[in-house]
Amino acid sequence: MNVILKTAVIAAAIVMFALPALAEGTASVKVSFVDIDPAAAQAKVLKTQALALKRLEFEQFAKTKVRQLNKNHIFSRSSMEITKQSDGTYRARYHQIDDATMAVKVRRSQSGAIPYVGVLSYQEKILESTASTLEQLDKGSFAVVKIIPNRHIFSYQKGSWK
């Protein structure tokens, strides 16, 4: 036991005198324990994967929502607004969401009840055609006369987007 005590005292003395000598001329280095903590790194990866999964879910939800909006619009292609002009011609107008302009973003929320928020952006186009008769109007080509930018915000609550 005496030998162990002597060894411990000698080791403590070496550490006490050697550390200040080693520290001279070296800059202090800050160590971030998050960077080297495997559990924290794993948690960060899982959060990133969860966010990516919610983005995919929201994208599918948004595509369905856009199809629904196109179908149910009061002035959709199947229920155009047709007006007779003062010169005797007919003008037809309808609204359509341009699928190619659809964009989605998902981010985490600070709320415990609403963990994610999704933003759906798209352009709604107003198309128009004119013709001298109603029959020609059906066969005519439609041109874009106005573009309306739209943005909808949705929340993820109780397992679904609302």
Range of the structural domain that residue 87 is part of: 32-161
Confidence of residue 101 (pLDDT cuts 50, 70, 90): very high
Residue 27 lies in a domain: no
Per DSSP bridges, beta strands 143-157 and 160-161 are: antiparallel
Residue 18 tokens read as 């050697």
Question: Using CA atoms, how far apart are residues 153 and 155, in angstroms rounded to an integer?
Answer: 7
Residue 23 lies in a domain: no
- Residue 131, φ and ψ in degrees, nearest 5: -155, 165
**Which residues are 96's β-sheet partners?**
125
Residue 20 lies in a domain: no
Give the angle 153-159-162 at the CA atoms, nearest 5°: 25
Pair 95, 76: CB distance under 8 Å:
yes
Residue 12 lies in a domain: no
Question: Using CA atoms, how far apart are residues 54 and 58, in angstroms rounded to an integer?
Answer: 6
Residue 2 lies in a domain: no
pLDDT tens digits along 111-129: 888 999 999 999 999 999 9
pLDDT at 106: 96
Residue 148 lies in a domain: yes
Residue 104 lies in a domain: yes
Residue 113 lies in a domain: yes
Domains identified in the chain, total number: 1
Residue 10 has pLDDT above 70, yes or no: no
Torsion, Cα of 6, 11, 17, 22 (10° steps): 170
pLDDT tens digits along 52-87: 999 999 999 999 999 999 888 899 888 889 999 999
